[in-house]
């Protein structure tokens, strides 16, 4: 249990130190050392509790509960003040409703409920701890060099990097708290800390757009927080428990816990940026790139899907489960369509994130062992691959001056190492035999087995859209443009270290995913579902896919430098004029070569896809809660 407390408290102490220390040298050392220590502690916790499969801790302390309550009040006052200051009154109203309800409950009903196990560690917690501890700290390490460039590009503004790194490490501390809290009141406390951290990180630059987008994220997540509070009140008042494991046990024994489950799932949906709440995550793109990587890969949104996956045993074919699977399916489809029309690389990654989270949420809603297996594997692969891509885009933006895909012509010539890393990341998102495609295959099989034809159609058409927008970007990466100056020597060594680590990690987890499945995911499912029948992919097929990937990696190495290359003029849409940059067109005029993608705005306009998705998901949510509150179930 001491390791758990260390993982929560140590990043918090580091955050305070980084807030106080202002020099680059001290900050660099603290971030690097702290990142190594946190990653090592995450691995140590894995080794410590791996064999036990799951352990609950009989730890009880009223002092900690009262301390959390006091912090909640302070945070609510802060939100109320900021909402008034910036005239975002809805944020103030939500804070004024949510926190008093929670304080009233804790001092009355909740005070008399005995909590046997405040903390726990199971194999799903271990997966999340490793994601937070390794991917999260790599992002912090990357931030050292990136934020130096960021400050250089904003040299006329105050240096707020101590505040930035304080928030990053506080974020990690809160995320560790979320994934090991069995007490729902404690889980809620850490949940709200991540909401506040994301609010301040998104508004980091303090521009009008950043402030507006940060309040959008805050307000939407406060709606989710209100759902969380109501779930706690319902569980405490009518079921006499505040422990997540007790709630799940009741549901699996036939006790109807559909209403609190739906409220908690609603909180997860908002945190995971599902429609109609996806706009907060898209607005987060105004923040520095490490913020985007942290929000989209290892924290914040992963907290949402983590909660939905934890709830999956009591979802399925009830109102809460149907609500979750439909919201996830609609989000996956519409966000995938919207990504087609985007040329801004960060917006493509944002819509891809929303879409993949939708797929994970839909799997959690189905609630079968096969669907949950696919969901957990998607979480793992998505965390590594998407963090790699976000950080690559950040490095590209600082060096070529743009994050637009159309400006990445010839990136292989200008930054060959970075382009290679991006190719690995993009391939990892949609190509066989890499992990994301395998997990999507498993998800599709789970959808078919569930008998939900509508969900099957959503994943089929959404996956087709995924293939389209990733292929366009990949084409830009592999294209070679002549006479491009190599500028990759300007990249900080910290950035190269992190990008290389994430690229290697992407390949490694794809190679060893059968092992992860056998020793991490399947044992967790066995504790939940007692027995696990055949998965969408047999272990034999998984090992065959790993062998295929090994060949993909090894074959280029075997033949590297052993081919006879013959340099020929580049083929273009006319006679090459000799410089590989211009050609003679059909009118016998010289024309500069240009490589451009088709974004199909007339068919998949971002605004149109969002309107359709928002309307559809609002109808689903309103209908579900109307039925539940109407007493039909």
Distances (CA, A) of 390 to 16, 285, 289, 394, 422: 27, 10, 7, 6, 9
Supply the pLDDT for residue 492.
85
Cα dihedral angle (257, 258, 259, 264), rounded to 10 degrees? 90
**End-to-end CA, the chain:** 40
pLDDT in tens, 251-272: 988 888 999 999 999 999 999 9
Q: How far apart are CA 76 and CA 225, in angstroms?
A: 12
pLDDT in tens, 372-385: 999 999 999 888 89
Phi, psi of 121 (to 5 degrees): -140, 120
The pLDDT of 384-408, averaged and rounded, is 88
The pLDDT of 454-475, averaged and rounded, is 90
Q: Where does the pLDDT of residue 452 fall: very low under 50, low under 70, confident under 90, or very high at 90 and above?
A: confident
The pLDDT of 484-510, averaged and rounded, is 86
Supply the pLDDT for residue 578.
75
Question: Of 140, 213, 174, 123, which is closest to residue 387 (Cα–Cα)?
Answer: 140
Supply the pLDDT for residue 534.
55
Classify burial at 493, counting beta carbons within 10 Å of its beta carbon; exposed 0-12, middle 13-18, buried 19 or more: exposed
pLDDT in tens, 279-326: 998 888 888 888 878 876 656 778 999 999 999 999 988 999 999 999
pLDDT of 632 > 60? The answer is: no
The pLDDT of 125-130, averaged and rounded, is 93
Higher pLDDT, 521 or 82: 82
pLDDT in tens, 187-208: 999 999 999 999 999 999 888 9
pLDDT of 576 > 60? The answer is: yes
pLDDT of 552 > 70? The answer is: no
Radius of gyration of the chain (CA): 24
pLDDT of 107 > 70? The answer is: yes
Mean pLDDT, the chain, whole residue set: 87
pLDDT of 85 > 70? The answer is: yes
Question: Of 384, 399, 617, which is closest to residue 506 (Cα–Cα)?
Answer: 384
Residue 10: is the preceding peptide bond cis (ω within 30°)? no
The pLDDT of 44-69, averaged and rounded, is 83
Residue with tokens 């493509």: 348
Supply the pLDDT for residue 540.
60
Question: Of 445, 473, 418, which is closest to residue 537 (Cα–Cα)?
Answer: 445
Residues in the chain: 633
Question: Of 213, 171, 208, 207, which is closest to residue 192 (Cα–Cα)?
Answer: 171
Q: Where does the pLDDT of residue 477 fall: very low under 50, low under 70, confident under 90, or very high at 90 and above?
A: confident
Q: Where does the pLDDT of residue 567 fall: very low under 50, low under 70, confident under 90, or very high at 90 and above?
A: low
Supply the pLDDT for residue 178.
95
Per DSSP (E only), the strands in 335-449 are: none
Of the candidate ranges 216-220, 499-503, 525-529, the one whose mean pLDDT is the lowest? 525-529
Supply the pLDDT for residue 633.
47
pLDDT in tens, 172-183: 999 999 999 999
Question: Of 437, 422, 434, which is closest to residue 345 (Cα–Cα)?
Answer: 422
pLDDT in tens, 529-550: 876 655 555 666 666 666 766 7
8 Å CB contact between 265 and 621? no
Q: How far apart are CA 501 and CA 90, in angstroms?
A: 42
Decide the pairing of beta strands 582-584 and 575-576: antiparallel
Instruction: Using a pLDDT cut of 90, give the percent of the chain over it.
Output: 52
DSSP state of 277: S
Supply the pLDDT for residue 173.
95
Give the dihedral sign, CA 628/250/124/193: positive
Residue with tokens 């500028």: 487
The pLDDT of 356-373, averaged and rounded, is 92
The pLDDT of 508-513, averaged and rounded, is 83
Q: How far apart are CA 505 and CA 499, in angstroms?
A: 10
Question: Domain locations in the chain?
Answer: 2-60+115-563+597-629
pLDDT in tens, 16-52: 999 998 888 999 999 999 999 999 999 999 998 887 7
Q: How far apart are CA 633 and CA 629, in angstroms?
A: 8
Classify burial at 473, counting beta carbons within 10 Å of its beta carbon; exposed 0-12, middle 13-18, buried 19 or more: buried
Q: How far from the centroid of its chain's Cα atoms is residue 117's Cα?
A: 28
- Please give the angle made by the CA atoms of 292, 371 and 457, to the nearest 5 degrees: 85
The pLDDT of 564-584, averaged and rounded, is 76
Q: Where does the pLDDT of residue 572 fall: very low under 50, low under 70, confident under 90, or very high at 90 and above?
A: confident
pLDDT in tens, 129-153: 999 999 999 999 999 988 888 887 7
Q: How far apart are CA 38 and CA 47, in angstroms?
A: 14
Distances (CA, A) of 30 to 4, 17, 129, 426, 494: 21, 8, 21, 32, 14
Q: Where does the pLDDT of residue 501 fall: very low under 50, low under 70, confident under 90, or very high at 90 and above?
A: very high
């Amino acid at each position: 249990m001491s390791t758990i407390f260390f993982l929560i408290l140590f990043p918090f102490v580091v955050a305070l130190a980084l807030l106080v220390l202002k020099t680059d040298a001290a900050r660099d050392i603290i971030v690097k050392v702290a990142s190594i220590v946190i990653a090592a502690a995450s691995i140590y916790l894995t080794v410590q509790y791996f064999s036990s499969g799951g352990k609950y801790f009989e730890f009880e302390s009223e002092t900690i509960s009262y301390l959390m309550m006091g912090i909640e009040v302070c945070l609510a006052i802060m939100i109320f003040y900021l909402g008034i200051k910036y005239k975002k009154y809805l944020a103030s109203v939500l804070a004024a409703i949510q926190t008093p309800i929670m304080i009233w409950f804790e001092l009355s009903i909740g005070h008399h409920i005995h909590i046997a196990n405040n903390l726990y560690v199971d194999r799903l917690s271990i997966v999340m701890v490793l994601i937070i501890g390794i991917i999260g700290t790599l992002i912090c390490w990357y931030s050292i060099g990136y934020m130096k460039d960021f400050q250089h590009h904003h040299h006329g503004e105050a240096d707020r990097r101590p505040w930035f790194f304080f928030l990053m490490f506080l974020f990690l501390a809160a995320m560790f708290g979320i994934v090991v809290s069995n007490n729902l009141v404690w889980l809620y406390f850490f949940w709200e800390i991540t909401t506040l951290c994301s609010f301040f990180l998104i508004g980091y630059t303090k521009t009008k757009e950043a402030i507006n987008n940060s309040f959008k994220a805050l307000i939407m997540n406060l709606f989710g927080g209100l759902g969380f509070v109501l779930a706690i009140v319902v569980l405490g008042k009518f079921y006499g428990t505040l422990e997540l494991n007790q709630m799940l046990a009741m549901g699996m024994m036939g006790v109807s816990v559909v209403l609190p489950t739906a409220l908690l799932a609603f909180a997860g949906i908002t945190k995971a940026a599902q429609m109609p709440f996806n706009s907060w995550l898209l607005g987060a793109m105004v923040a520095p790139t490490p913020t985007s990587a942290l929000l989209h890969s290892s924290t914040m949104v992963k907290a949402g899907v983590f909660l939905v996956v934890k709830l999956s045993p009591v979802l399925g074919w009830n109102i809460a489960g149907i609500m979750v699977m439909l919201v996830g399916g609609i989000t996956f489809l519409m966000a995938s369509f919207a990504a087609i029309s985007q040329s801004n690389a960060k917006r493509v990654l944002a819509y891809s994130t929303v879409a993949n989270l939708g797929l994970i949420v839909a799997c959690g809603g189905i609630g079968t062992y096969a669907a949950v297996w696919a969901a957990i594997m998607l979480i793992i692969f998505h965390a590594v691959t998407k963090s790699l891509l976000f950080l690559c885009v950040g490095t590209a933006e600082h060096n070529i001056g743009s994050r637009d895909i159309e400006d990445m012509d010839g990136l292989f010539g200008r930054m060959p190492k970075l382009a290679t890393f991006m190719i690995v990341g993009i391939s990892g998102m949609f190509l066989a035999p890499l992990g994301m495609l395998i997990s999507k295959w498993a998800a599709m099989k789970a959808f078919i087995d569930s008998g939900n034809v509508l969900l099957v159609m959503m994943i089929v058409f959404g996956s087709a859209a995924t293939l389209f927008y990733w292929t366009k970007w990949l084409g830009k990466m592999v294209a070679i443009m002549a006479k491009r100056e190599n500028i990759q020597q300007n990249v900080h060594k910290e950035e190269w270290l992190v990008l290389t680590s994430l690229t290697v990690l992407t390949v490694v987890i794809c190679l060893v995913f059968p092992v992860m499945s056998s020793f991490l995911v399947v044992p967790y499912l066995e504790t939940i579902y007692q027995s696990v029948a055949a998965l969408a992919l047999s272990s034999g097929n998984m090992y065959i896919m790993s062998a295929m990937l090994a060949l993909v990696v090894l074959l280029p190495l075997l033949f590297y430098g052993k081919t006879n290359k013959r340099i020929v003029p580049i083929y273009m849409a006319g006679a090459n004029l000799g410089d590989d940059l211009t050609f003679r067109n059909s009118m016998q005029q010289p024309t500069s070569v240009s490589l451009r993608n088709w974004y199909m705005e007339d068919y998949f306009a971002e605004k149109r896809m969002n309107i359709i998705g928002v309307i559809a998901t609002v109808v689903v949510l309103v209908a579900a809660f109307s039925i539940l509150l109407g007493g039909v179930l």
